Amino acid sequence: MFSYKLLFFLPLISTIFTYPFGVLLGDKTAQYFSSTLISIAAILSWFLFISFSMSPSPEIIIPVLEWFLVSGQFFNWGISVNSLTLLMLTLVLTVSALVHIYSIEYMAHDNSKVRFMTYLSLFTFCMVALVVSDNLIQLFFGWEGVGLASYLLIGFWHHKKSANLAAMKAFLVNRVADFGFLIGIATLYIFLDTLSINEIIEGKEELLNYDINFLGFNINALVFSCFFLFIGAMGKSAQFGFHTWLPDAMEGPTPVSALIHAATMVTAGVFLTVRFSELMVMSDFIMTFVLIIGLLTAFFAASVGFFQKDIKKVIAYSTCSQLGFMFVACGLGAFNIAIFHLITHGYFKALLFLSSGSVIHGVHDEQDMDKMGNLFPKMKITAVMMWIGTLAIIGFPYSSGYFSKDLILSSSFNLNSFGPLVYLILAIVSAMTAFYSFRLIFKVFHGKYNGSYDYEKIHESGPFMLAPLLLLSIGAIFAGYFLNDLLAGYNSKNFWNGMIFLYQDKNYYSSFFPILSKSLVATGVAFAVYYYGFNLNKLADLKKRFYSIYNFILNKWYFDELYNKIFVLPLYNLGKFLWTRIDQGIIDKYLPNGSASIVSTISKAFKRIQTGYIFDYTFIIISGFTLFISIIFYISVT
């Protein structure tokens, strides 16, 4: 029990004490302090996970602290120990620990590295609180807490205007989705009178009995609450429609992108969906909706990833696309596979991000891929790491992506009628992924150097940055192999132990389909090699021929412009109208300024009374006396 509590409190201790330590003992000490604490937690989480997976037990809930009491209901901090949370904890804490260590070197030249470490630890604490939560209030606390940490870290370089704007955008977009999440929580509370996740899942049948009248439609309470929970998940996981904040979030330092915007926080949406899988599967509408959103996101993000110039944005869109894959798995009912992909993706995507951070560090904060090239001789280890990450993401056989992604593809046959269509789309998206991933490799590491920074000065990163890369590459290669049987194999039922919804029967699966998907992926790679490896001049030709499509994709399907037109501009204009006309023109002019001027006029009059002459003073006293006498006479007469 104590070790579980330790997992909960180590990040909190790090959050609280890192800053004072930094002030008292120096930056370095604080950095080592927080890295050590989180690393201890990470190692501990692995021990706990391994011992748990050896002998899976039913869920245990460890109470930590009483929080508050509202209308007879206690809300507590608790740790729910089960397969899902332990799995998530290993990922969160491992990546977090590695990112902590990585940041020691990456942020070495920054002035506020202690603040950075504090934010990272804060994020880790909130994420742990989210993952281990046994009730929706604590989950919501963690949910908002990671949102806050994400906001703080995106805007970490607050002297940059773009960073501030991106942070604000991330926060606002998430606010919209979080409102949906709150509606979902409130619905569950209204109908089931509890916020404990277990009790909600137990009471799922009861939910079916209620209807909600929403804008004139009668909607089943279950569908309603699941829908809004999923809206929350969409926001956090940057799904189609809410995805706009994720690419902009790349304004933050790269370790942040690796930790928050690739491996952990953005997967919270998937986690939430899986945590409520028992509820989600009860409605076909919800499952179809999840599936469609996932497919749309996967396809859309992959297409936008084609022509991005910023190295981090390419990886960001690929994150978005992979999250789409996870939701497709959810929509297909293969929740265990969604989590499987979440874990493997966490490792290889963190690897990709941290490698790209190493590249950016090496070429002196340059992020434009057009200004890179032929970096392989200069940074061999980073390049190899990037290759490993890329091979994992395209699903190269026996890398970790191979297992999880293929399982998603194959589980599309859970659907009877549209299964092949879903499969086809996913296969095409995989090919697209392969294309832009290899495009990145070739543009950055091979070909010819186009940058303005002195080529000779480009250097490989130091040990603090390379060690996390090496550790992550182990995860990127082997995580799939080792977890495959545990999470998705025949014995997975023992491991999951009823925590999530599992299909009873294994899907049928012919050998034709893997060949189709793999050959499509190979085609994608071949295209990338052809255009970016050897025939760069043909590329311009192609661009010219498909100019409108190219432009459409380059501008991210014009989503930002659309949102600007629909949401931002009208609100902005309304706000401006209210501000200049109503507030300044009417309210300010007459109420505060008007009353202030009245006050000053009156006080000037009072000042005039205070002449300083005794006869004036006497006069005032006598007039007071007269007033009193008049009142007495007036009242006695009437």
Partner 1 sequence: MINFYQFIPEIFILALILLTLCFGLFNKDRSIAINAVGFFILTLILINFGKDFYISTDLSLNTINLFVLSKIILSIGSIVFILLSKRPLKNENLYRYEYILFILFAILGSFVLISSDNFLTAFIGLELQSLSLYLMAAFNTKNLKSNEAGIKYFSLGALSSGFLLFGISMIYYDTGSFYMQNLNNFTTISEIGLSLVLISLFFKVSAAPFHIWTPDVYEGSPTISTLFFASLPKFASLIFLFRVYQELNISGIQSLNYIFQIVCAISLLVGVYGAITQKVIKRLLAFSSINHIGFMLLGIMSYQFMSEGTLFFYLIIYLITTFGIFAVLLNLRTVDGEFTKISQLNGLRFTSNSKSISMLVFFFSLAGIPPFAGFFAKFFILSASITDGFFFLSIVAVLSSVIAAFYYLTIIKNMFFNKSEIELLDDNNKIGKVIFISFGLIITLFFFYPDPLINLVDNLFK
CA distance linking residue 377 with residue 1, whole number of Å: 50
CA distance linking residue 286 with residue 281, whole number of Å: 8
Does 633 help bind partner 1 (rule: CB under 8 A)? yes
**Cβ atoms of residues 268 and 140 within 8 Å:** no
- The residue among 215 and 635 lying less far from partner 1, judged by its C-beta, is 635
Select the span of 211-219, 239-247, 368-376, 610-618 touching partner 1 (CB under 8 A).
610-618
Q: Which helix (H) or strand (E) holds 225?
A: helix 221-236
Give least dist CB 342 to partner 1, A. 47
Select the span of 19-27, 36-44, 548-556, 620-628 touching partner 1 (CB under 8 A).
620-628
Q: What is the DSSP letter of 439?
A: H
Does 43 help bind partner 1 (rule: CB under 8 A)? no
Select the span of 60-68, 120-128, 578-586, 607-615 touching partner 1 (CB under 8 A).
607-615
Does 571 help bind partner 1 (rule: CB under 8 A)? no
List 534, 572, 590, 625, residue binding partner 1 (CB under 8 A): 625
For residue 409, the cross-strand partners are none
Give least dist CB 619 to partner 1, A. 9
Burial (CB count <10 Å: 0-12, 13-18, 19+), residue 533: middle
- The residue among 450 and 630 lying less far from partner 1, judged by its C-beta, is 630
- The residue among 572 and 617 lying less far from partner 1, judged by its C-beta, is 617
Alpha-carbon torsion (473, 475, 476, 477), positive or negative: positive
Does 621 help bind partner 1 (rule: CB under 8 A)? yes
Does 549 help bind partner 1 (rule: CB under 8 A)? no
CA distance linking residue 32 with residue 118, whole number of Å: 12
- The residue among 508 and 613 lying less far from partner 1, judged by its C-beta, is 613
CA distance linking residue 618 with residue 103, whole number of Å: 78
Q: Which amino acid is at 420?
A: P
Give least dist CB 624 to partner 1, A. 4
Give least dist CB 600 to partner 1, A. 7
Q: Which helix (H) or strand (E) holds 150?
A: helix 136-154
Cα-to-chain-centroid distance, residue 546: 34
Give least dist CB 590 to partner 1, A. 17
Q: Which of 178, 171, 82, 93 is nearest to 136 (CA)?
A: 178
Give least dist CB 598 to partner 1, A. 10
- The residue among 72 and 612 lying less far from partner 1, judged by its C-beta, is 612
Site string for partner 1, 585-604 (x = CB under 8 A): --------------xx-xxx
Contacts of 433 (CB under 8 A, 6+ apart): 302, 305, 318, 321, 322, 393, 394, 521, 524
Does 624 help bind partner 1 (rule: CB under 8 A)? yes
For residues 128, 132, 136, 139, the Cα torsion angle rounded to the nearest 10 degrees is 10
Which tokens belong to 87?
């799995």
Give least dist CB 60 to partner 1, A. 39
- The residue among 571 and 632 lying less far from partner 1, judged by its C-beta, is 632
- Euclidean distance between the first and the last CA atom of the chain, given in angstroms as a whole number: 83
Does 463 help bind partner 1 (rule: CB under 8 A)? no
Give least dist CB 620 to partner 1, A. 5
Which tokens belong to 438?
């290899």
Residue 453, CA atoms < 13 Å, CB-side half-sphere: 19
CA distance linking residue 127 with residue 45, whole number of Å: 14
Select the span of 37-45, 117-125, 473-481, 624-632 touching partner 1 (CB under 8 A).
624-632
- The residue among 209 and 603 lying less far from partner 1, judged by its C-beta, is 603
CA distance linking residue 133 with residue 59, whole number of Å: 12
Give least dist CB 579 to partner 1, A. 24
- The residue among 71 and 636 lying less far from partner 1, judged by its C-beta, is 636
Give least dist CB 585 to partner 1, A. 24
Q: Which amino acid is at 602?
A: I
List 23, 566, 574, 609, residue binding partner 1 (CB under 8 A): 609
CA geometry: angle at 353 spanning 348 and 354, to 5°?
A: 95
CA distance linking residue 208 with residue 263, whole number of Å: 35
CA distance linking residue 285 with residue 265, whole number of Å: 26
- The residue among 536 and 609 lying less far from partner 1, judged by its C-beta, is 609
In this structure, the number of other CB atoms found within 10 A of the CB of residue 277 comes to: 23
- The residue among 209 and 611 lying less far from partner 1, judged by its C-beta, is 611
Does 617 help bind partner 1 (rule: CB under 8 A)? yes
Does 172 help bind partner 1 (rule: CB under 8 A)? no
CA geometry: angle at 403 spanning 402 and 404, to 5°?
A: 100
**Cβ atoms of residues 355 and 385 within 8 Å:** yes
Does 547 help bind partner 1 (rule: CB under 8 A)? no
CA distance linking residue 333 with residue 501, whole number of Å: 8
Give least dist CB 194 to partner 1, A. 36
How many residues touch partner 1 under the rule CB under 8 A: the total is 27
- Beta-strand ranges (E) seen in 192-254 are 211-214, 217-220
- The residue among 66 and 616 lying less far from partner 1, judged by its C-beta, is 616
- The residue among 579 and 625 lying less far from partner 1, judged by its C-beta, is 625
- The residue among 450 and 601 lying less far from partner 1, judged by its C-beta, is 601
Does 627 help bind partner 1 (rule: CB under 8 A)? yes
Does 504 help bind partner 1 (rule: CB under 8 A)? no
Does 562 help bind partner 1 (rule: CB under 8 A)? no
CA distance linking residue 383 with residue 113, whole number of Å: 27
Give least dist CB 608 to partner 1, A. 10
Does 623 help bind partner 1 (rule: CB under 8 A)? yes
Binding residues for partner 1, per CB under 8 A?
Answer: 599-600, 602-604, 606-607, 609-610, 612, 614, 617-618, 620-621, 623-625, 627-629, 631-636
